[in-house]
Amino acid sequence: MENQRLDRRTFLTYLGTGATALAAASTGLGVLTETANAQSNNLLGTKPRKHGYEFQPIKPSTKDDLVLPKGYKYDVVASYGDIINKKGDTFGFNNDFTLYFPIENSVNHGLLWVNHEYTNPLYVEGEKINGTYSAAQVEKLLYNQGGSIIEVVRDKRTRSWKMVKDSEQARRITGLTPFALTGPAKGSKAVNGASMAQGTFANCSGGRTLWSTVLSCEENYETTSADAKLDPTHYGWVIEVDPFNPDFQVRKHTALGRFNHENASMGISQDGRVVVYMGDDKKDACVYKFVSDGRFKESLGNKNSRLLEEGTLYAADLKNGKWLPLALEDVRKAARGKSELLEKFQTQGDVLTNCHEAAILLGATPTDRPEDVEISPLDQTIFIAHTNNDKHGNIHGHITRFFEKDNDHGATEFEFEIFAAGGRQSGFSAPDNLTFDSNANLWTVTDISSDKLNSAAWTSFKNNGMFMIPTVGRNQGVAFQFASAPVQAELTGPCFTPDERTLFLSVQHPGEETKDKLNPTSTWPQVRGGNMPRPSVVAITGFKF
Ligand code: FEO
Ligand code: CA
Ligand code: CA
Ligand code: CA
C-alpha cells in the first residue's frame, strides 16, 4: 500500500476532472485511469465548479531555483528593496502571506497584499553594536516588516505578471505606522492603557474578511519589540487593513486575542455571526476561534469590521470535543488558590492579552504548533496544519481536520481526525500555510527549518516544497508535489486569482544560512544585479483545466 501511494505520488500525472474524478496516466507503470465518485464526501451537496488541474508532479529537488512541473512558469513580481510606488516606498523583507484583490473584477490586474515577517541583519539592519541597535537600525528593522500593498498586472502581450512601479495605490504598512486598538483590551491596564500602538511586525500569515479587507497576523513579535524597545503587549494581535482605502484606520483587534498568531480564516455561522479560526504557532499551543456577537450584513461593507470588536474567543479541547470560552469568570475559577494567576487575570483584557496561559488553565489541548487554518469550500470542515513538535517526537507534523457539530461554525462542539501525516510515506514534512482551490484540493507549503533541510530525518524531502492534496476522491490525503523551493527558502502565502489561472506565492528566506555576503548559499532569483538572495513574490501560471 505504501509503495502504491509513493508510486502514485511520484510517477502519475494528476489530471483532476472536478473534485469528483481523477484520471491518471503513468510514465512507467502503464496507463491508469481512475474515476472516483466523491459525492459521498460532500456534506453540502455542492458541485465542484470546474475541472481540476493537470500537472506532472515533480520529484524532490536540491536545485537553487523554484522548480515547477512541466508547462508551468513563474514571474518574479516583487523582490526585497524594489520601489513599489511614485513616492519611492520599497518592498519589505521576508515576504509571507499574499492576498489578491481584483481591480474592477479583473483576474489580470489587482492589488496584492504581502506580509513581511522578519529581517535578516546581514542584509537589512546590520549587526548590533554593544548589544543594541542605533535609531537608524531600528528604523530599518521596523520599516522592512509589516505589509506591502502593491499593484500587479498581467501583460496582455507577453502574458507575464509584473508590478506597477509608479502605482498611485501601492503603499506600505510598517512597524512605524500608527494603529488603533479595538475591543476589550483597548485602553486597559493589560496593554498599559494604550488605545493606539506603534506599527505592526512579525506578520506571518493572515486571511480575507467577508467584507474584503486583510487580516494579518503578528506572530513571533518578541525579538523585534525588545530590539526596538516597544511595549510587547502591543504586539501579537490580528491587524486589519483595507487595501483600497487609505482612510480606513488600520487597527488591532484585541477581541481575537494575543498570542503567536499564524493566520486567521473567516467563516460564518449558520445564524450569520462571523467566525475566525486561528492557530498559535508555538510548541504545545492551542487552536482558537472567535465568534462575533453581531451578525454580518453585506451592505455595511468594511463597517462590518465592528463585528471583530465584540464576541467570544474559544480555545479547543480536543479530548472532549469542546470549544472552551475564554471568559474571565471561568479563568478566575480555574485559578482559584493561585494568587499570582488571580493577580494576573483581573479583567477580560488580561485574559485576551495572555491567551495561551488562560487557555491551558481552562483545559484546552496543547497541540503541535498549529499554523495555518483553512475552511474547505466544499464541506466547510476546518483544516489545521500542525507543523511539528519535536518535544514529543512529532518530527514531520500532520494536518488535522475539525468537523463542527451540525456543520456549523458557530457550534461549541466538534470532532476531529488526522487528515494527512508528514513523513517519508507521504513525501512532505512540516506543513505550514494552506489554501484551497475551488475543487477542494488543499495546497500546502512546507517549512522544514533551514538548518535541518537535506539532513538526518529530513534527507528524503530535499528542499522545502509545495504540495497539492485532494480532500475528496480516491486520492484523498495523497500529496502530489507541485513546487520545490530554492536553497534554504520556504514557500509561503499561496494565493490563487479568482479564475485560478495564477498562483501568487512568496519565496521567503532563500540562502538563510548565509554567513558571508560574498559567499551566499543561494543566489536566487538573480534580479537587480548581484548575487544577493532576495525574498521575492512570484506569480505562477500554466494552470490547465
Ligand atoms: Fe511564521 Fe508560523 O510561521
Ligand atoms: Ca508561516
Ligand atoms: Ca512556519
Ligand atoms: Ca517563515
Output the CA 474–ligand 3 centroid distance in Å: 29
Report the CATH number that the domain containing residue 12 is assigned in CATH.
2.120.10.30
Q: Indicate left, alpha or beta for 321 from its phi (over 0: left) and psi (-120 to 50: alpha).
A: left
Residue 469 predicted with pLDDT over 70? yes
Return the pLDDT at 8: 45
Residue 173 predicted with pLDDT over 80? yes
Q: Which ligand is nearest to the CA of 281?
A: 1
Residue 392 has, within 13 A of its CA and on its CB side, a CA count of 6
| Residue 1 maps to a domain | no
Q: Does the beta carbon of 374 lie inside 6 Å of ligand 1?
A: no
| Residue 3 maps to a domain | no
355-360, Cβ contacts within 8 angstroms, sequence gap of 24 or more: 355/257, 355/258, 355/259, 355/280, 355/288, 355/313, 355/315, 355/326, 356/259, 356/280, 356/282, 356/285, 356/286, 358/315, 358/326, 358/331, 359/286, 359/288, 359/315, 359/324, 359/326, 360/286
- In the chain, what percentage of residues exceed pLDDT 70? 90
**pLDDT digits over 319-341, tens only?**
999 999 999 999 999 999 999 99
Residue 508 predicted with pLDDT over 90? yes
Q: Which atom of ligand 1 is nearest to the CA of 205?
A: 1
Q: Does the beta carbon of 372 lie inside 6 Å of ligand 1?
A: no
Q: Of 141, 135, 136, 139, which Cα lies nearest the Cα of 121?
A: 141
Q: Does the beta carbon of 281 lie inside 6 Å of ligand 1?
A: yes
Q: Using 50, 70 and 90 to split pLDDT, how confident is the model at 1?
A: very low
Residue 149 predicted with pLDDT over 90? yes
**pLDDT average, residue stretch 98-123:** 98
Q: Which atom of ligand 1 is nearest to the CA of 279?
A: 2
In 10 A of CB 367, how many CB atoms? 22
Return the pLDDT at 28: 23
Give the whole-angstrom CA distance, residue 108 versus residue 152: 8
Q: Which atom of ligand 1 is nearest to the CA of 117?
A: 1
Q: How many domains does the chain divide into?
A: 1
Residue 530 predicted with pLDDT over 90? no
Residue 401 predicted with pLDDT over 90? yes
Return the pLDDT at 51: 63
Of 27-36, 132-141, 220-229, 525-534, the one with minimum mean pLDDT is 27-36
Which residue puts its alpha carbon closest to atom 1 of ligand 1? 204
| Residue 506 maps to a domain | yes
**pLDDT digits over 302-322, tens only?**
999 999 999 999 999 999 999
Give the whole-angstrom CA distance, residue 519 versus residue 295: 56
Output the CA 215–ligand 2 centroid distance in Å: 14
Q: Which domain holds residue 433?
A: 8-541
Q: Does the beta carbon of 242 lie inside 6 Å of ligand 1?
A: no
> Which residues partner with 215 through β-bridges?
207, 240
Q: Does the beta carbon of 512 lie inside 6 Å of ligand 1?
A: no
Q: Using 50, 70 and 90 to split pLDDT, how confident is the model at 53?
A: confident
Q: Does the beta carbon of 219 lie inside 6 Å of ligand 1?
A: yes
Q: What is the pTM of this model?
A: 0.93
Output the CA 234–ligand 1 centroid distance in Å: 19
Contact 370, 376 (CB under 8 A): no
**pLDDT digits over 202-212, tens only?**
999 999 999 99
Torsion of CA 450, 137, 237, 441, to 10 degrees: -30
| Residue 426 maps to a domain | yes
**pLDDT average, residue stretch 216-244:** 98
Give the whole-angstrom CA distance, residue 388 versus residue 398: 7
Q: Using 50, 70 and 90 to split pLDDT, how confident is the model at 52?
A: low
Q: Indicate left, alpha or beta for 98 from its phi (over 0: left) and psi (-120 to 50: alpha).
A: beta
Q: Does the beta carbon of 308 lie inside 6 Å of ligand 1?
A: no
Output the CA 161–ligand 1 centroid distance in Å: 27
Q: Which ligand is nearest to the CA of 97?
A: 2
